[in-house]
Chain A
Amino acid sequence: MQQTAYTKPLPVPDSESTPFWDGMREGKLMLQRCASSGAYLFPPVTFCPGSLERPEWVEASGKGTVFSWITVRHPVPRDIYAEDVPYVVAIVALDNGCRMTGNLVGCTPEEVRAGMPVELVFNRVTPEITLPAFRPVGG
Chain B
Amino acid sequence: MFKLRDKYAIAGIGNTDYTKASGRTVRSLATEACLKAIEDAGLTVADIDGIVSFNFNDSAPAIGVATEMGIENAGYAVDYAAGGNGANLITLAATAAIEAGLAKNVVCFRAMNGRSGFRLGGGRDLSAYGVTQYTAPLGWITYPQAMAMWARRHMIDYGTTEEHWAEIATTFRDNAVINERAMQRTPMTRDDYYNSRFIVDPFRMYDICLESDGACAVVITSAEHARDLKQKPVYIMGGAYGGGPSQGDDLFDAIRWPSHSHNCFKYLADDLWGSAGIGPQDIDVAEIYDCFTYSVLMALEGLGFCKEGEGGPFVMGGRIARDGALPLNTHGGLLSEAYIHGFNHVIEAVEQLRGTSGARQIEGAEIALTTAGAMTCGSAMILRN
Contacts and interface: CB of A to CB of B under 8 A. Distances in A.
B126 interface: yes
A102 B139 CA distance: 10
A99 interface: yes
A43 B253 CA distance: 9
Given A70-B148, A74-B200, A12 B129 contact: yes
A125 to B, nearest CB: 8
Given A9-B126, A73-B200, A68 B153 contact: yes
Given A14-B129, A99-B255, A73 B137 contact: no
B313 to A, nearest CB: 20
B101 interface: no
Interface string A29-72: 00000000000001100000000000000000000000111111
Given A17-B133, A43-B134, A70-B148, A12 B127 contact: yes
Contacts of A14: 129-130, 133
A113 B17 CA distance: 45
B21 interface: no
Interface string B131-153: 11111111111100100111011
Interface in A70-103: 70-74, 76-77, 80-81, 84, 86-87, 89, 91, 98-103
B131 A43 contact: yes
Contacts of B139: 8, 72, 81, 84, 87, 89, 103
Contacts of B122: 76
B134 A70 contact: no
B172 to A, nearest CB: 21
B149 A91 contact: yes
Given A67-B153, A101-B135, A9 B148 contact: no
A127 interface: no
Nearest to B152: A68
Nearest to A16: B130
A76 B137 CA distance: 13
A106 interface: no
A72 B145 CA distance: 7
B230 interface: no
Given A71-B200, A71-B201, A76-B123, A11 B152 contact: no
Contacts of B202: 70
B152 A13 contact: no
Interface size class of A (residues with CB under 8 A): 35 or more
Contacts of B198: 71, 73-74
A114 B156 contact: yes
B140 A70 contact: yes
B229 interface: no
A67 B156 CA distance: 9
B132 to A, nearest CB: 8
Contacts of B145: 70, 72, 76, 89
A27 interface: no
Nearest to A77: B123
A109 interface: yes
Contacts of B127: 9, 12
A11 B133 contact: yes
Contacts of B141: 9, 76
Given A72-B200, A73-B197, A89 B140 contact: yes
Interface of A: 8-14, 17, 42-43, 67-74, 76-77, 80-81, 84, 86-87, 89, 91, 98-103, 109, 114, 125, 129, 131-132
5 contacts: A42-B256, A69-B149, A76-B123, A89-B138, A109-B201
Interface of B: 122-123, 126-142, 145, 148-150, 152-153, 156, 197-202, 253, 255-256, 260
**A-B CB proximity, top 6 nearest:** A11-B133, A71-B201, A9-B136, A114-B156, A74-B199, A68-B153
Given A11-B133, A72-B200, 7 more contacts: A9-B128, A9-B132, A9-B137, A11-B137, A71-B201, A74-B200, A86-B201
